[in-house]
Structure 1
């Protein structure tokens, strides 16, 4: 979105807030599973995987959030990015917040033992990749140029 003067807004123009994309897919999958329960894991494995994945996702996401705050940049993709963050989890993934949300989604799907939710995860990741990540990357390349391209060359998109 621009400001009405033909200028482009200083943000990546994502299709929707990433937490909403993940929550929407998870809610649809859990609701479908509630209407027609379809387990996909043995009960013990469901319990063993669920909460550790959720905790790992929360820890990674909070660590990434903290590093963005520490660098003084915005976490909200609807606001301008002011710095390239390459410390903490950003040293091994360019998207620790989205990896964290993926772990949380996976953990909740496993804990609920909900096959429909698990099957929707690839679609959710597709929307996040096309509607969020690629837009953010274009925006960061345009805003930070070579600095971002060097970072992008050193650190993988996901893991």
Structure 2
């Protein structure tokens, strides 16, 4: 007897928690263990970069959530998808929510003046890629077939 398949992508953890976990780990390492000299940039430039990252990241997340809401499909990857979204911000990136979370992560790293958080960027992106995105894409291709596969080939994963 085979187990029934679940109608979810099977991501390793909720993506916001993955980003938060890496951020908190980086901050703990920065301020409790490594204690670097911080980022070497003037305060005006630093806060401009923070503002740009945060505003762009939050804007990307809000735009993506709005498209999901308009399509009537849930955004959390642990819930079954009822549609795939290819309009709005999704014409430019297949993962604008994760891109937005990444920009917020970068903005918070710069705001905290914590280079160790930036050192964790590659492991974070690899975790999101293999633990979330690859699983979601496989799930969506199985669920929505050729239209989704065509979308995969026409829109970049990040930008």
Q: Give the TM-score normalised by the residue count of structure 1.
A: 0.94
Q: Distance in 1 between matches of 2:74 and 2:135?
A: 16
Contact 1:38 1:116 in 2 (8 A): no
Structure 1 position 12 matched with structure 2 position 9: yes
Q: Where does 1:68-107 land on structure 2 (aligned, <5 Å)? A: 68-107=68-107
Alignment of 1:1-159 (within 5 A): 6-35=3-32, 36-44=35-43, 45-159=45-159
SS at match of 2:120: helix
Quote the RMSD (CA, aligned, Å). 1.3
Number of matched pairs: 156
Partners in 1 of 2:104 and 2:47 — Cα distance?
A: 14
CA distance in 2, matches of 1:100, 1:156: 15
Give the whole-Å Cα distance in 1 for the aligned partners of 2:134 and 2:83: 18
Offset from partner CA, 1:27-66 (integer Å, 9 cap, x none): 1111222221441231323222112211110011010011
Instruction: Detail structure 1 runs of 4+ shifted over 4 Å in the superposition.
Output: none
Instruction: Quote the Cα distance in structure 2 between the aligned partners of 1:43 and 1:114.
Output: 14
Structure 2 gaps, min length 5 = none
Distance 1:38 1:58 in 2: 28
